[in-house]
Amino acid sequence: MNVSELTLNFSSGVPIYRQIVQLLSGKILSGALSPGEKIPSIRDVTAELNVNPNTVAKAYRELELAGLIETRRGMGCFVAEHDDARHTLTDEEKQRHLDTLFSSLVTSAGMFGISEQDVSDYLTAKHSAIAKNNK
């Protein structure tokens, strides 16, 4: 994986460390990054994207806690070697991911003047529409 695949939006209002977590977890969970694949080192991300090493380290720590990546001493960071990272997530971890996704959605929506209630109504409506389509 190249650092250039990590596109950060500095004007979105979403903290950069959270954007890195979302981008990488999205790629891992969708299968775009396969188990055992090397992810860019903190040094590379820092130099290429001009972000603070602490920010990248915090994002990687969160991903490691979620069981999505693992650090091999002296070799760097790799996508966790499970059959499928999605199945290894506990309910608590899934809740944490949902929490992160929801709060970043609310923050991003807030930038456009969309209230939390509107986001919630939209999600409910979307969910009903999907359920109707599935029937």
Partner 1 sequence: MITSDTMTAGAPAPAKSESSVASVRRMLKNSLLISVRDSVLLNLASVNLLLQVFYIGLFLGSFFLYPALMGQPCRTHEEFNAFYNQQEHKVILLAVALTIQFFGTFISNYLLLTLDSEIIRVWNGQKAEFKRGWRTAASHFWSLVTWSLLITPVNIMWVVSMCIVIPVLTRDKTVNPFKMLWRSVLLLLKIWKEFLLGIVGMLVIVYWVFCLVFGSNAIFRAISSQCPPLIAWILLSICISLSLVALCFCYLFCNCYLCGQYIKASEGVEPDPEADAAELA
| Residues near partner 1, by CB under 8 A | 10-11, 13, 15-18, 41-43, 46-47, 50-58, 71, 76-77, 91-92, 94-96, 98-99, 102, 111
Q: Cβ 39 to partner 1, closest distance in Å?
A: 11
Residue number with CB closer to partner 1 (95 or 115): 95
Distance of CA 123 to the CA centre of its chain: 19
Residue number with CB closer to partner 1 (16 or 68): 16
Four-CA torsion 95, 101, 106, 107, nearest 10 degrees: 120
By the 8 A CB rule, do 42 and 53 touch?
A: yes
Q: Cβ 55 to partner 1, closest distance in Å?
A: 4
Helix (H, G, I), strand (E, B) or coil at 128: helix
